[in-house]
Amino acid sequence: MMTAAILGASGYVGGELLRLLAGHPEIVAGRLLASSNAGQTVASIHPHLAIAYAGRTFEAIGEAPLDDCDLIFAALPQGETQKLADRLMASGARVVDLGADFRLDTAEDYARWYGEEHVRPELLGEFVYGLPEVKREAIRGAKYVAAPGCYPTAATLALRPLIEAGIAFRDGLIIDAVSGVSGAGRAASAGSHYCSVEGSMRAYGLLGHRHTAEMKMMLGGEPLFTPHLAPMSRGILATCYAKATGPCDPVAVLREAYADEPFVCVTEAVPETKWASGSNAAFVTARYDERTGMIVAVAAIDNLGKGAAGQMIQCANLMLGLGEGAGLSNCGVYP
């Protein structure tokens, strides 16, 4: 068995990592590291994991050694992995980072979209962008992987095959996407309170959401991205628009592109977030509209699954030479 340390184990993504690793045949959760919740039991923060992690407590991130682990999952807020980079790399372990610190190609892009200078720009080239459906061979055997954001994962899966097949222009892309509240993280805020969210939907991050940078990197052009917060716990639904190069069958293109993918389902029906809930699955479809000459592509994923913890484990499996689907499910929890 291989041992993983989880940095940020008390957060929503950390909890999902723990849940998935509890059923993983080859990787066990070793060090469970947290900041404000250090010293607390797993059961007190993640009561649904009380049986699987009975008696386990969170250690302080700053105090625990990391050189006794084969793998490190970093589920930390943006900017934190940069500060720990030397310590992570000195451990000798493979690293899968979910933060935005090492996703982008250049320090200039990071500064533009995240509003601060990158403190370790020399390390950007050391990390492979962790979307297996696009970067599988680069991820295999990689030492360091930067897992994508949840919104870019959905948008890229919906649009990239259409652009690469030449049936959609990369200029003028529009992505409208809806996320569950868990995407905002565990920390309480006025915008994520029950009374703010229940019975309401809102757009946010207009014209400048940080995930636009990843979409631009993976799709090209200058995509216009608008995220929305929906009154649900988990899920991403991305509705994407692209100008078609001519009459086409986008579903056929998607079927060919994802024919051998273990976690992508191309469907004639319009996907729903519930289909992917609790899984690492992605459901995609698309339509060509003769009236407007546009393609509408839709993707549904679980923001904590394929959009975060599930994708991290999928990458780790590839990095460690394990079965890509080990510990993961392509079956959602329904209803």
Shared domain check, 162 and 123: no
Q: How far is CA 4 from CA 42, 43, 146, 242, 313, in A?
A: 16, 19, 16, 41, 11
Q: Could you give the CA distance from residue 59 to residue 35 in angstroms, rounded to a whole number?
A: 8
How far does CA 262 lie from the centroid of its chain? Answer: 17
Q: Could you give the CA distance from residue 239 to residue 201 in angstroms, rounded to a whole number?
A: 16
If DSSP codes are grouped into helix, strand and coil, which group holds residue 5? strand
Shared domain check, 100 and 53: yes
Mean pLDDT of 271-284: 98
Q: Could you give the CA distance from residue 223 to residue 219 in angstroms, rounded to a whole number?
A: 8
Its pTM stands at 0.96
Q: Is 327 part of any domain?
A: no
Q: Measured in Å, how far apart are the chain's first and last C-alpha atoms?
A: 34
Shared domain check, 198 and 169: yes
Q: 176 — phi, psi (to 5°)?
A: -105, 125
Listed residue (288, 284, 257, 289) closest to 271, CA to CA: 284
Q: Is 333 part of any domain?
A: no
Beta-carbon contacts of residue 117 (< 8 Å; ≥ 6 apart): 107, 111
The yes-or-no answer on residue 150 being catalytic is yes
Residue 172 belongs to what domain range?
Answer: 150-303
Q: Is 70 part of any domain?
A: yes
SS (H, E, C) 28-67: EEEEEEECCCCCCEHHHHCHHHCCCCCCCECEECCCCCCC
Shared domain check, 166 and 289: yes
Q: Is 335 part of any domain?
A: no
Mean pLDDT of 69-82: 95
Shared domain check, 65 and 127: yes
Evaluate whether 311 touches 147 at the Cβ level (below 8 Å).
yes
Shared domain check, 142 and 55: yes
Q: Is 250 part of any domain?
A: yes
pLDDT of residue 64: 85
Within a 10 A sphere around the Cβ of 291, how many other Cβ atoms?
A: 5
Both structure tokens of 36: 């404000």
Q: What is the CATH number of the domain that holds 174?
A: 3.30.360.10
Q: What is the CATH number of the domain that holds 45?
A: 3.40.50.720
Mean pLDDT rounded to a whole number for the chain: 96
With pLDDT > 70 as the criterion, what percentage of the chain qualifies? 100
Tokens 């060090």 sit at which residue?
A: 31
Cis before 25? omega within 30: no
Shared domain check, 165 and 134: no
Within a 10 A sphere around the Cβ of 92, how many other Cβ atoms?
A: 12
Q: Is 138 part of any domain?
A: yes
Amino acid at 119: V
Shared domain check, 237 and 155: yes
pLDDT of residue 103: 97
Domain count of the fold of the chain: 2
Residues in a beta bridge with 129: 146
Q: Is 334 part of any domain?
A: no
Shared domain check, 253 and 163: yes
Q: Could you give the CA distance from residue 149 to residue 185 in angstroms, rounded to a whole number?
A: 13
Shared domain check, 101 and 210: no
Q: Which tens digits make up the pLDDT trace of 287-327?
A: 999 999 999 999 999 999 999 999 999 999 999 999 999 99
Candidates 150, 195, 240, 315; catalytic one:
150
Q: Which tens digits make up the pLDDT trace of 3-13?
A: 999 999 999 99
Residues in a beta bridge with 145: 96, 128
Mean pLDDT of 116-140: 97
Q: Could you give the CA distance from residue 48 to residue 206 in angstroms, rounded to a whole number?
A: 36
| 192: pLDDT strictly greater than 90 | no
| 190: pLDDT strictly greater than 80 | no
| 189: pLDDT strictly greater than 90 | no
Q: Is 129 part of any domain?
A: yes
